[in-house]
Structure 1
Amino acid sequence: MTTASDPRTGADRRPRNHLLEESILPVRLRHRTIGALGFVWIWIGMAVIIATFQLGANGVAGLPLPVVLLTILLANAALAVVMTLTADIGTEHGLSFAVYLRAPFGTLGTHLPAVSRGIVAAIWFGIQTYLGALAINGIVEYFTGFSAWFLWYVVFGLVQIVNTAMGIKAVERLAAVAAPAIIAVSVWMYFTLEDLARTQGQNIWTFAGDTPISAFSLFVANMAFWSALAVDIPNLTRFVKTESGARSFARRNKNVFVAQFVALPVTQTFVALIGAVSFIAAGDWNPITVIQGQSSGFTLVVLLALVILAQWSTNNAANLIPAALTFVNAGAPHLAYKWGVALAGVVGTLAFPWLILNNLFTFLGYYGALLSAVGGIMIADYYVVRRRRLNVPALYQANGQFRFSGGVNPAGLIAWVVAGGLALWQLEYAYLVGLPVGFLVYLLLMRFWIVPRHPQAEITSGFSDEYLGTSAGQEWAYDEATGLRRVPAGSDIAVSREDL
C-alpha cells in the first residue's frame, strides 16, 4: 500500500479509512490473554450490582423464595445460551460487537443499533458511578462530617475511566482482586440479614408476600437484565484464550462456558437472594441501606467498600468497554479507544443517571426489548445466513460487500424495527418476542431479497473455510503493506499505527 504525499509539505494526502482504528481491529490470538478463571472473575465482578437486589425483592414480594431463586437461575441459564452463541463471534474472528454489526446492518447502518447500545452502556456507567459515589461519600461523611457526593462522583468516574483506558489487562487485574472480596462481603451480608429476619420471627424460606407477580414475568425481567451483554459479549470474548484449530464449538469456547453458565447464573441468583432477604427482614430491597442503618466503624466501611468495588468492576467490563468501542466504531479513525472511554463517561453523566435510577426497571424493560431483537438478528446472520464464515476484510472496506444500499442493509434495520416494535408492544414478554421475531424476519429478508441482490463472498463461495478464523487455525491480521488478511495463527504481522 503506497502513500501519496504533498510535494510541498510531505503531508499524507491519502484519505483515511473511516472504518479503521486500532482498537476495533480483530484481536490476534497472541493478544487473547484472559483464561477461564480470569473470565469468571470478570463475570462475578459484573454480576454483583445493586440493581440485582431489587430483582430478588420484587420476586419475593409475591412468590415463595425458592420459586424466586429457581426462576432467576433458569432465566440466567437461558440467557447464557444466547450469550454463548454470540460469544463465538469474538472467539472465532476476534471481532468487536459494533464491527460485526456491519454484516447484518451495513457499514453505515451499524451505527444505529451500536451507538444505541453504547449510550445505554454509558448511562449504566453513570448509574453505577452515582451509587459508588454515594458509598464513598458515606465513608468520608462518617469520619469527617464532610458531604459532597458529586465531588466523589467526578473522582470515582475519573478513576474508572483511567483504569479502563489502560486496556483489558487492567480490567482483568481489578476483577481478580475485586471478585473474591465481593464474594466474601456478600456472604457476610446474607448471614447478617438472615439473622435479622430470624430475630424478627421471619422464616425466609416460608415467607409469603401478597404483591401480584408471576414467575413468568420475573423470568422475562431477568432475561432483559443482561440483554445488552448478550449481544455485545464479543467485546470481551475476543480477548479470551482459545485453541487455534479447534473445530468443535465446545473446545473453541471452553474458557467462556464456566463464566457464563456457572458464574453468571449462580452469582446473579445469590445477589438476588440477598435483596429478597433484605426485603423480608426490613421491608427494604436495598440491603446496603438496611445494614448501613445498623452499622458503624469498621463494619460500615467494609459494607460501603463492597458497593464501591462492585460498581467499579461492573463498569469497566460491562459498561465502559462496550460504550467506548461503539463510539470508536462511529468516530474512527479520529476517535481513539482512550477518548472513547472518556466520551462514555461524559455521555453517562449528561444523562443525569441519578434521575433514571428512580425508574430503573422501566429503563431496563425498554432497552431490553430493543436489544432482544438485535440478538435474534445476530444469531440468524452468523449461524444461518453465513454459517460462521465471514468476509472479515470487507468489514473494513467502505465500498465492499457490506456497503449494501448506501452503507445500509435494509434487512437488518427492518427486522430490528419490526421485532423491536413488537417487543415494546408486548413489553411483559419482550425478550421472548423480540429475539425470535428478529431472527425470523431477518432470515427471510436476507434469503429472498438482500443476498440475491448483494452477493456475499462467504455465501457464494459455498461457505468455504477460507472465511473461518480460529477454528481453521487462522487469524485476521492487518499491516500497512497488505491491509487486513487471513494468516496462519501466530504469524509475525504487525499493525502499523500510521496506516490506521
Structure 2
Amino acid sequence: MSVQNIENTETQIEHAPGVDESLYPKTEKERTVGPISYMFMWIGDGVNLGNMTLGASLVVAGVATLNIFQTLVAGIIAIAIISGIFALNDRLGYKTGIPYVAQLRMSFGVKGTVISSLLRGIPAIVWYGIQSWIGATALNEIVKIFSGKSFDNVAVCFIVLVLFQIVLSLFGFHAIKWVESLASIIIMLALIYVFGILLTSHKEAIVDTWVHTKGTWGLPFFGFIMVFLGNYAAIFLSAADYSRELKTGISNGKRGSLYFFSIFVAYGFVLTIGAMLASATGITNPAKALAVIVDNSYITVFVSIFIVIGVIATNMVANIIPPAYVITLLTKLKYKPAVIITGLLALCSFPWVLVKDSSAEGLNLFVLIYSAFLGPVVSILLVEYYILRKQKVNVAELYKADGQFAGYNPCALIAMLIGAAAAFIEVDLAWIVGAVVAGIAYILLMKFTFKNSSFKKGTIFEK
C-alpha cells in the first residue's frame, strides 16, 4: 500500500467512534525512525538483563543443562526463527501504518481482539516488572556503595525505577529512539568489559561447569530453543507496533537483515554472558552476579549504572508501548494515562518470585506458558495475511465498529484454543507445537465452518 493510500485510509477512519488518535495508521510524515536508529533500537532491546537471566537459567544448582556448543546452536536456531517471523509479521504494519491491536481485528474481530490483545499485553507487563526488579538490584548496589552500606532496600529501588520509567515513557517513541541509540552502544562496551573479566579471571569455573559438561541434544535442547524463541514471542507478535514507526521505502529483505543482525549480535552475546556468569558464580540474577564478578566498588557502580540504563532501554521498546496500546483499545483512555497504568501494573507483577538468586526456572516456566498462547496467535495472523488474504487487506474496514470485522471470528478463537491445548501436551515445545497446530486448524475452520461469516470476505474462501 502506498503512502497516499495510508493517508486516505486515515481520513476515512479519523472520526470512527472509540478510536484513539494513537491507534490511527501512521502517515509518512509521522514515521521518523531511520534504519540505523531502528537497528540500534533492537540492539538496545537485546542487551538486557532479562535475556542474560535466560542464559543463566542454563545453570541449575551449579550444573549446566547444555554445554557451550549446544547452547550456541540452540541460540542461533532461535534467532534465525525470530528474525524470520519478525520480517513476515512486520509487513502489514509497515505497509499500512496500523498498530498490532488493529492488525488483530483482521483475524479475531473487533470484540475478539480483546482476548488476543490481552495475551500480548499481560506478558509484557510481567516482563516490565522482571526487568525493573533486576534493574532495581543494580540500583540498590549503587546506592549501597554511596551510602556506605547504610541503605540496602531493593523494593524501594524497584518502586523508584518504575516511577522514573513511567515519566520517561510519557514522551513517547521519540524518547525511546534516543535512549536506545545511547544505551545500545554503552551497554555493549560494558558487557565486552565483563566478558573479558570472565575469560581472564573465571575461566576454570566456566570451563568445568559449562564447557566440559556433557549436556544433551534431547528434549531439554529443543526446550531451550523454545525458551529463547518464546522470550521474543510477545515482541515479534506485535511487530507492527514498531515497523509503523520506520521510514517508508525500506525493502522487506533489508528489514529482515536489520532484525537478524541486531538480534544476533545482542541476544547471542547476552545469552552467552548470562551462562558464563551463572557458571562462575552459581547466581542467576545477573545484577547480583556482576557485583560478585566485579570486585571493585567504582567498577561495580559503573557496570550497575549501565544495567539500569539497559533495563530502561528494553522496557521502553518491548514492555511499555504494546500493553499501553492494548489498554488504550480496551478502556478508550488516551496514550499517556495508559502508559501510567502499565507502569503501575508492573509494580504488582511479583517479579521476585520468577527470578531468584539460586534459580531462574520460574522465568523459564512463565515464558513457556505464555508462549503456548502466543505461538497460535502469530500463526493465525501469518496464515490470514499471507495464505488467506494474499497480503491484501481493507484497512478502513478494520476501524469500523459495524464493518466486516465487527464482533468476533469464532474460527480464530477456536483455532487459538486448539493450538494452546496442543502446546500444553508438551510444554517444553509449547511455541512451535501451538503455532503449527493452530495454523492448520485455522485454515480448516475457515474453509469448512461458519459458511456465512463476514470474515471470509476478501479471503480465498470467499464465495
Report what 2:365 is aligned to: 362
Superposed, 1:87-486 pairs within 5 Å as 87-144=90-147, 145-198=150-203, 202=207, 206-208=211-213, 214-243=220-249, 251-254=250-253, 256-293=255-292, 294-332=294-332, 335-358=333-356, 359-403=362-406, 407-450=407-450, 452-454=452-454, 458-459=458-459
Q: What CA distance in whole angstroms lies between the structure 1 residues aligned with 2:369 and 2:275? A: 24
Report what 2:84 is aligned to: 81
Per-residue CA deviations over 1:254-304 (Å, capped at 9, x if unaligned) read 552233111112311111111222233333344532331242332011111
Q: What CA distance in whole angstroms lies between the structure 2 residues aligned with 1:288 and 1:401? A: 50
Q: CA deviation at 1:221?
A: 1.8
Distance change >3 Å, CA 49–CA 93, structure 1 → 2? same
Q: What is the TM-score with the length of structure 1 in the denominator?
A: 0.82
Per-residue CA deviations over 1:15-45 (Å, capped at 9, x if unaligned) read x855411001111122111111111111111
Distance change >3 Å, CA 289–CA 137, structure 1 → 2? closer
Distance change >3 Å, CA 201–CA 259, structure 1 → 2? closer
Q: CA deviation at 1:456?
A: 5.2
Contact 1:394 1:401 in 2 (8 A): yes
Contact 2:137 2:288 in 1 (8 A): no
Structure ID, larger Rg: 1
How many pairs does the alignment contain? 436
Question: Which range is displaced more, 199-208 or 279-288?
Answer: 199-208
Distance change >3 Å, CA 270–CA 120, structure 1 → 2? same
Distance change >3 Å, CA 159–CA 201, structure 1 → 2? closer
Report what 2:70 is aligned to: 67
Q: CA deviation at 1:65?
A: 0.8
Q: What CA distance in whole angstroms lies between the structure 1 residues aligned with 2:81 and 2:435? A: 13
Report what 1:28 is aligned to: 27
Q: CA deviation at 1:310?
A: 1.3
Distance change >3 Å, CA 339–CA 217, structure 1 → 2? same
Task: State yes or no: 1:38 paired with 2:44.
Answer: no
Q: CA deviation at 1:308?
A: 0.3
Q: What CA distance in whole angstroms lies between the structure 1 residues aligned with 2:373 and 2:461? A: 33
Q: What CA distance in whole angstroms lies between the structure 2 residues aligned with 1:37 and 1:207? A: 39
Contact 2:48 2:310 in 1 (8 A): yes
Q: Report sequence identity in percent.
A: 28
Q: Structure 1: which 5+ residue stretches go unaligned? A: 1-15, 244-250, 463-500
Q: What CA distance in whole angstroms lies between the structure 2 residues aligned with 1:157 and 1:258? A: 33
User: Secondary structure of the equivalent of 2:393?
Assistant: coil
Q: Structure 2: which 5+ residue stretches go unaligned? A: 1-14, 357-361
Contact 2:41 2:184 in 1 (8 A): yes
Q: What CA distance in whole angstroms lies between the structure 1 residues aligned with 2:209 and 2:126? A: 34
Q: CA deviation at 1:458?
A: 3.6
Q: CA deviation at 1:452?
A: 4.3
Distance change >3 Å, CA 128–CA 205, structure 1 → 2? closer
Q: CA deviation at 1:66?
A: 2.2
Letter in 2 for 1:152: C
Q: What is the TM-score with the length of structure 2 in the denominator?
A: 0.88
Contact 2:124 2:320 in 1 (8 A): yes
User: Secondary structure of the equivalent of 2:246?
Assistant: coil
Q: What CA distance in whole angstroms lies between the structure 2 residues aligned with 1:54 and 1:347? A: 22
